[in-house]
Structure 1
């Protein structure tokens, strides 16, 4: 018995060492590809910021192109100025003055100037996620990434376990599923994917010729600091009305955000549950994207501030070089009781955010 116990100690230590090495390997920054059986539909993901690096789909003639903006190297994604394809949180979009009241207690966040944007300077897009599962091929290839956000990270209350899964779930269909569980305190949660889409191909120029349709009859107007006023206003009679298919270039000069011409606004999506949110089509290539999601809002951003960014393959991305379709809770919801609540509580319902990107050509 004594001899067996002595022999078991080195084996136990060896198992611990191997487990530690495996965990360390999962925490290194890497690139992971998911590819369809047919081979003409694939994505690449990095666990730095749970970032969607590429989405390759055919056009109407069968020509393949990468339809999201990005970089050639991981180092460029790690650069603080990068935002392409990341998962932003703990709370996406803006929180006015970096302050809100929760259950009678004032919460003060780590501010970026006068507000907090996308979770702060070290939001979920600026951390290494753990690769929990990775199945690169087969009928439905997928990758699941995990991040533990600690209590008071960027000032947010409570520990939070977060999972993101990217999956090729059908012919030319990409799903992104986000889940978060509050472990110790009530906290706001609002995750969004910040992919920059250009259906003509990531280096094909601007998206002003692309046609968009947004299934929303209301939107949330903002003040000069891009903070919602609290009103949920009808789009009818305004340039924000995109309920019918509309060429982006026909409206780009009629709307603005933070003093720059272009869309940068949250739409209050019609209906509830998992539903169609928006459609985007590029007449030149024949590619189309249909977005489905279960969130109350969607931020439409037309890359107004994008300027002279060197991207993949040496391509230079300029103003209006992409469009972002970020399903989300309403911006600054923690300071507007009339907005849908984004508070998640321990023991209560977990946060869930499902998206489906359907491509056709």
Structure 2
């Protein structure tokens, strides 16, 4: 995908503020959370309510940062991969950048061919959030970000108040809680965290040998523009079958796109809206493992197919397949597929998206 020439950071920050109905000036910074033992920590920024780093030990006690990202704000402002960002108002693609809700047609910003992706050209990952609470000490330190999305932002209807909380909820557990309340009109809401995971450490090479298990016996096939066809079909007998731990690259040669990697939604097994196990990932070399729990109906597996020569943290250069994303979410384009679980939030209703990342070695 072609990239636009990067704009100066100061200009982009001004543009982010200028588009907001409550365009107050908010400082942008980096914030850290650390467990009491000191061998598990994260860093976040209120630019895009973004997860910047996750440091966890391997089986020998060696610490490594296991997500891709940047050292400076400039990287996140100019980056096109949504590294670690809170993505919305609607993550993933909306077909032809339009939908009809309660009899009214809405047109969105096109930024993926004829489709809209990740909330438009200035989605939630490209705006400044307010730091509402920051508790850096104690057994379960946390930080909460807030963003008010105004009626008509990127074409979406209604005002939306959004909160995202990052918390170290256990010795080696990271929880992310996303809440959003529609206050004026019905609107689609589908938020996700877009962290790129490499359990061997960011910049350590590809993740094709990472063992992946998805608790998903079905997936949503795509058309040639990466829009779901409306079907939900079994993974059995396909290259999408990760029901038992399988190397990420085991079937890459037959993935559509000439070995282009995975970028598709899976239907998570179990009761919708209940916290349940979604995925397990393990790096066989370091022994680091990640178990993901969430309460959303789907999870997008993306294997960094479009990452190429990306200059990241500590001078590392990220390449194709250098990480995998596990984006728990509503089904893509659900607003145009009444047969899918609904992603509509009506005035007074609260959207709740919970994620729990359990690390081990």
The two structures have a TM-score, normalised by structure 1, of 0.91
Cα pair 1:188 1:342 within 8 Å, conserved: yes
2:90 is equivalent to residue 91 of structure 1: yes
Cα pair 2:297 2:330 within 8 Å, conserved: yes
CA–CA distance in structure 1, aligned partners of residues 155 and 23 of structure 2: 27
The Cα of 1:323 is off from its aligned counterpart by: 0.3
Partner of 2:187: 187
Residue-by-residue CA offset, 1:197-231 (whole Å, 9 max, x unaligned) = 00000011000110000000000000110000000
CA–CA distance in structure 1, aligned partners of residues 52 and 246 of structure 2: 28
CA–CA distance in structure 2, aligned partners of residues 103 and 186 of structure 1: 8
Cα pair 2:252 2:259 within 8 Å, conserved: no
Cα pair 1:26 1:131 within 8 Å, conserved: no
Cα pair 1:36 1:139 within 8 Å, conserved: yes
- Alpha-carbon RMSD across the aligned residues, in angstroms, is 1.4
Partner of 2:309: 308
Q: How many residues align?
A: 337
Cα pair 1:29 1:46 within 8 Å, conserved: yes
The Cα of 1:136 is off from its aligned counterpart by: 1.2
- 1:114-129 equivalences in 2 (<5 Å): 114-129=114-129
Cα pair 2:81 2:307 within 8 Å, conserved: no
Q: Which has the larger radius of gyration?
A: 1
Cα pair 1:301 1:325 within 8 Å, conserved: yes
- 1:245-324 equivalences in 2 (<5 Å): 245-256=245-256, 261-272=260-271, 273-324=274-325
Cα pair 1:26 1:130 within 8 Å, conserved: no
Partner of 2:42: 43
Partner of 1:330: 331
The Cα of 1:24 is off from its aligned counterpart by: 10
Cα pair 1:254 1:261 within 8 Å, conserved: no
Residue-by-residue CA offset, 1:76-106 (whole Å, 9 max, x unaligned) = 1111524100010000000000111101111
CA–CA distance in structure 1, aligned partners of residues 251 and 318 of structure 2: 21
Partner of 1:207: 207
- Local SS of the residue matching 2:174: strand
- Local SS of the residue matching 2:254: coil
1:226–1:96 CA distance, 2 compared to 1 (3 A)? same
CA–CA distance in structure 2, aligned partners of residues 360 and 166 of structure 1: 19
Which runs of 5 or more structure 2 residues have no equivalent in the other structure? Answer: 1-21
1:149–1:169 CA distance, 2 compared to 1 (3 A)? same
CA–CA distance in structure 2, aligned partners of residues 124 and 300 of structure 1: 20
| Structure 1 moving runs of 4+ over 6 Å | 23-26
Partner of 1:17: none
Residue-by-residue CA offset, 1:221-250 (whole Å, 9 max, x unaligned) = 001100000000111111101101101121
The Cα of 1:252 is off from its aligned counterpart by: 1.7
Which runs of 5 or more structure 1 residues have no equivalent in the other structure? Answer: 1-22
